[in-house]
Structure 1
Amino acid sequence: MDGKVQITASIVLYKENGDTLQKTIDSFLNTQLTKKLYLIDNSPNDFLKKYADHPDVNYSFSTANIGFGKAHNTVLENSSNSSEYHLFLNPDVAFKPNVIPNLMEQLSKDQNVSMISPKVLYPDGELQYTCRKYPRFLDLIIRRLGIFKKRVYNKEYRDQDLTKTLYPDFIHGCFLLFKTQDLIDIKGFDERYFLYMEDADICRKIDAAGKKKMYYPQEEIVHIHRKGSNKSIRLFFRHLISAIKYFNKWGY
């Protein structure tokens, strides 16, 4: 599709399950808007290219794992004026066709809101607590150890009515819908984070620009949420390195 579209979206791939990815792609393509989906593949080979066989899907193979934020940023660099809204999308989510248009409508109502995200559910219907207060280094340790549950729950806004619109510190990044110009203004993700913490960081950048983030639970999506750093020592150290970079930048 040539020219400006209503929405662009980007998905960063790394050895994804094809069936799960296809559901995510279909969810986006079923949205009744002018659109373009960018698949940026950080996998060792281009096996996933076959899932891009659609005129509204663009596939690029990175030839190396360049990291999550940097991969997303390649779309902004190459198509910075191509859409009104841009969606950062994980490869393991599913949603109904009206979700994106309804979120766009809400986002357009307030010039001071740069980003919006819906309610997120596990496949069994359980709520994912994606709204978070900015962490301290100690909070990451507490969460990892599974202790001091009251403090953890407080950091997840569980003391508030999460059936109502909220403007949290940050929102976990499986589905983040931005006004494209606001996203360009803050220069997308900080590429110093290879993986993890980039969602908290970009929300800090929104704050620094004098804008807000909206949690809008009247719309919902389903997210598998693999929690990779809890299962892999390699990903745990990725998370730790990103956390050190985050706290060095924003303070402990």
Structure 2
Amino acid sequence: MNEEITITGSIVLFDENLTDLHKAIECFLNIPFKKKLYLIDNTPSRFFEYVFVDKQIEYIAIEENIGFGSAHNKILNKLKNTSNFHLVLNPDVSFKPSIISPLIKELEKDRNIAMVAPKVLFPDGRHQYSCRRYPSVSELLARRFTFLKPMFKSIILKGEYRERDLNSPFFAEYITGCFQLYKTENLLQLKGFDERYFLYMEDVDICKKIDEIGKKKLYYPKEEIVHVLKQGSSKDIKLFFRHTSSAFKYFLKWGL
């Protein structure tokens, strides 16, 4: 199995913690398959050009911040006839390389599964609710404004599938974009992420697109990863407006 499978991965870089990034890259390079990692640098200064050098890494300089989805899409043409599986990976994620094999097995079990993702934990071991129902306007507002949370608590809990056994696999409506493992053919069929989103909501949007092609997304909590989760939009006013803009575009596209 190891000799037959090629897995590619992509990480978009901008303002990254180098310690976290090193862990993410090391985890990918230790995956026990033939592999290639694309580092897509959105910094105008090409900051990351010589920070990580390895024969299994291809560095791509964009020289401007074009956003998350657009940057990941830059390598789609490189995946044709090259990759069986592709991992969209955040720079602040770490995982045991051994989790990849069971995730691939789940993808191979069902031709209708386009993407799989594991359970996500915070560094302190707390659960991150990474599989969600598609968001409503009220849920997104409550998540951004703390004073609204008590009024919309039931909506938030429902959105996070709190009524389900989150230790058992199931097909979720959407899975957050910090770690998404695709069958490459399906990612190419989707044409990657919608580039109208600069940052935020592109992971929700691509899950909607998976629905449109009649495929599914599997939440597979028998394997797990660690995600630092910066939550930039709750701390930075510019990112807050980016998030708001993306939400507006999402509901214009898909409806309320």
TM bin (shorter chain): over 0.9
Aligned residue identity for 2:189: D
Residue 48 of structure 1 aligns to a residue whose secondary structure is: coil
Find the aligned partners of 1:118 and 1:33 in 2 and give their Cα distance.
19
* Contact 1:7 1:87 survives alignment (8 Å): yes
Q: Structure 1: which 5+ runs fail to align? A: none
Q: Percent identity?
A: 53
Are the aligned partners of 1:5 and 1:36 in contact in 2 as well (CA < 8 Å)?
no
Q: Distance in 1 between matches of 2:115 and 2:204?
A: 13
Q: Is the 8 A contact 2:79 2:184 kept in 1?
A: no
Deviation at 1:21, TM superposition (A): 0.5
Contact 1:22 1:51 survives alignment (8 Å): no
Equivalent position of 2:178 in the other structure: 174
Contact 2:83 2:184 in 1 (8 A): yes
2:206 corresponds to 1:207: no
State the alpha-carbon separation in 2 of the partners of residues 96 and 79 from structure 1.
24
Does the Cα contact within 8 Å between 1:131 and 1:171 map onto a contact in 2?
yes
Residue 111 of structure 1 and its aligned partner are, at CA, apart by: 0.4
Partner of 2:6: 6
Cα-to-partner distance string for 1:122-178 (whole Å, 9 max, x where unaligned): 000000000111112222112212312221011100110000001111011100000
Matched with 1:29 is: 29
Query: How many residues end up aligned between the 2 structures?
Result: 249
Q: What SS class does the counterpart of residue 124 from structure 1 fall into?
A: coil
Structure-2 separation of matches of 1:150 and 1:45: 45
1:78–1:6 Cα change, 3 Å: closer
The equivalent of 1:136 in structure 2 is 136
CA RMSD of aligned residues (A): 1.1
Match of 1:243 in 2: 247
Return the TM-score normalized by structure 1: 0.96
SS in 2 for 1:52: coil
How much has 1:106 moved relative to structure 2? Answer: 1.1
* Cα distance in 2 between the residues matched to 1:86 and 1:203: 15
CA contact under 8 A between 1:8 and 1:36: conserved in structure 2? yes
2:23 maps to a residue whose letter is K
How far has the Cα of 1:81 moved from its partner?
Answer: 2.3
CA distance in 1, matches of 2:240, 2:220: 30
Aligned to 1:221: 225
Deviant stretches of 4+, over 4 Å: none
3-state secondary structure, aligned to 1:139? helix
Match of 2:81 in 1: 81
Residue number in structure 2 paired with 1:164: 168
> In structure 2, how many angstroms separate the alpha carbons of the residues matched to 1:153 and 1:206?
24
1:130 maps to a residue whose letter is S
Q: Mean alpha-carbon deviation: is it higher for 105-114 or for 138-147?
A: 138-147
